[in-house]
A and B are shown apart, each in its own frame.
Chain A
């Protein structure tokens, strides 16, 4: 248990440029505090996130991955988030078998949802903390 309470997860976040990244900015402007565990990679659209990145991250020992995009219907590129959603749902099915599904999150955060962004990050961090470190990190290293 102690290991878990000291555990600072490394979480990777992919944010779409138009909604979620702007929502993260708003969280900042509004000074909503959240845990400092997430490292953000900005992409133009959630549909840019290749499921392969997530698999790569997880097999490299990153503890959790968040993908955030515009709410359905709001995509800057018309339909990108619908495509992202299908891919993530398919990925979830696969990761579920490998016991890794709970480490991956898909969320919709709009540019006006600074509070929600902070809540999402807090939630994701807490969930990953509960799971503990990604077991693949050490175990594949002999």
Chain B
């Protein structure tokens, strides 16, 4: 593991190097344009000028774009939650890591681009605009990069950033100064984490109360129109064809009449709770808690708290954190003979 001290501006040269040496064909990164900062895919090294890799924005989880990435070599600069989704998708054979270089840095929180002015989107402004941070970020437990090709540390670094990688071949030809984060990095991380954990606990206890009664559950989901947005933006919902798009799950008028005739009445759209619970079963073991689903919901259903509660419930019993490591197998494809015995 090599670590280097680096200024944000120099990141550009790191990316340039990757493109010029043909290590990758393109780089997915954020860039400032006339109407704001947007994720872009850059193949021409000359167009790297003006990139804002650290801009604290999250419009959607870009891991969904990388599913079935094929054989074109790319580097992606993503938030930790996106990087975790990428690692998770790797385990599900949905992403070919051989063709992907994942670059991710410490994340102090992100804004929803529709909520903030574009000029305020630099990490320095986060402290001032804390109340405008995306909810998911305020309860985030994994704001440092998971296992990635190149990690960029900002927390506990005196002036600038620290770049860390065990793939030094990616940095060949660059003259970088070795350097490490300061000794109080861990303490600083802990401080943020404690704050987030407290917020999370509050969020989870709130949702627990809601879900614990049937009425609460119904209130929560009753306006769902089964638009599938939450599913479509979810990086962990990787199925090419969802169960709810197959004849069994996607009820046609005929089916609905048949079902209605069993009880005399069928609430439509049908199977709202079944739909959400099924997503819960499928996604909870791998949920990276990015919050994209909640933001995609046209009916403002507070999905994030639900996932916040369920993901840690399920992952913690298997001693698993989604996407943190590339090689740890998915919890539901393994077992121990002497577990959960009672």
Contacts and interface: CB of A to CB of B under 8 A. Distances in A.
A99 B265 contact: no
Contacts, number: 93
A142 B272 CA distance: 13
A108 to B, nearest CB: 10
A52 B243 contact: yes
Contacts of B277: 55, 58-59, 94, 98
A140 B332 contact: no
Contact of A94 (B214, B243, B267, B310): B310
Interface residues of A, number: 30
A86 B284 CA distance: 13
Contacts of A76: none
A93 B313 contact: yes
Given A52-B278, A139-B214, A83 B335 contact: yes
Given A94-B310, A135-B214, A139-B215, A73 B281 contact: no
Listed residue (A91, A96, A140) with the most chain B CB atoms within 10 angstroms of its CB: A140
B310 A93 contact: yes
Interface of A: 51-52, 55-56, 58-60, 72-73, 79, 82-83, 85-87, 89-91, 93-94, 96-99, 135-136, 139-142
Interface of B: 207-208, 211-215, 217-218, 243, 263, 265-267, 271-274, 277-278, 280-281, 284-285, 306, 309-310, 313-314, 317-318, 331-332, 334-337, 339-341
29 contacts: A52-B281, A59-B277, A73-B337, A82-B335, A82-B337, A85-B335, A85-B339, A85-B340, A86-B332, A86-B334, A86-B335, A90-B285, A93-B313, A93-B314, A94-B280, A94-B314, A97-B211, A97-B212, A97-B306, A97-B309, A98-B217, A135-B214, A136-B214, A139-B215, A140-B272, A141-B263, A141-B265, A141-B267, A142-B267
